[in-house]
Amino acid sequence: MTWSVPQGRHPGWPAHLGPLRVAAGVLEVRKPRLRDAAAWSRVRRRDRLHLQSWEPTVPGNWNDNNSALAWPGQLSTLRGLARRGLTLPFVITVDGELAGQVTVGNVVRGSLCSAWVGYWVGTHATAGGVATGAVALVVDHCFAEAGLHRIEATVRPENYASIRVLKKLGFREEGLFRRYLDVAGGWRDHLCFAVTTEDVPSGLVNRLVAEGRAELG
């Protein structure tokens, strides 16, 4: 199926996904809001050591780049890309509190119908199925509502926690990208994982529910 994106619209975004009950609590995924600034900044600044080793290098000071004052600019950029049909940006909440982000980027339509998914979760939510459930909700949404066929994820080989998330969801490892991204001040190798609609005909969330890892509602 080939999707055309009318100006100012995006198939599948904005959207509110969930609730999905995981071990950590009630998980939901929704569009980012301006009033998320304080919570977003608090988690990002607190978890610098946890996040900086896995995220692309960004010029400037971490605290400045992740201050509440920096959020409106980032939000504006995400919304602009979403309006152009290039990305689907979401925040993750657990029991109503901001816990991280999931972003689907580089959306390509036509004969490819592909995108990548990236995510981060604060240290207060790294256990209890939060990342796994959030990615499952978003990937299912990409396949069912956004009209995509393939979702990729790249991750450093040393990021065992993120690799476990992808493997639990049924992403297959497809290869190694040498010196793929500038992360933590150097060009780092990344493993490439991917999943297509044919791999999960019943959906990733249904798989988690069947395995007893999550409950609907």
> Nearest-5° angle of CA 190, CA 192, CA 196?
160
78 confidence band (pLDDT: 50, 70, 90): very high
User: Mind listing the pLDDT tens digit for each residue in 149-204?
Assistant: 999 999 999 999 999 999 999 999 999 999 999 998 899 999 999 999 999 999 99
Judge residue 174's burial from the number of C-beta atoms within 10 Å of its C-beta, 0-12 exposed, 13-18 middle, 19 or more buried. exposed
Domain tally, the chain:
1
Mean pLDDT of the chain, nearest integer: 94
Determine the average pLDDT of the residues in 28-32: 98
Enter the tokens of residue 178: 């040498």
- The beta-strand segments (E) located in the chain are 17-22, 25-30, 88-94, 97-108, 114-121, 150-155, 172-183, 186-196, 215-216
Cβ distance 14 to 146 under 8 Å? no
Residue 62: inside a domain, yes or no?
yes
Residue 39: inside a domain, yes or no?
yes
**Peptide bond preceding 19: is omega within 30 degrees of 0, i.e. cis?**
yes
6 confidence band (pLDDT: 50, 70, 90): very low
pTM to 2 decimal places: 0.94
For residue 136, give its domain range: 17-216
Residue 5: inside a domain, yes or no?
no
Residue 8: inside a domain, yes or no?
no
Residue 155: inside a domain, yes or no?
yes
Q: From 151, 146, 135, 137, select the one nearest 16 (Cα to Cα).
A: 137
Determine the average pLDDT of the residues in 88-105: 98
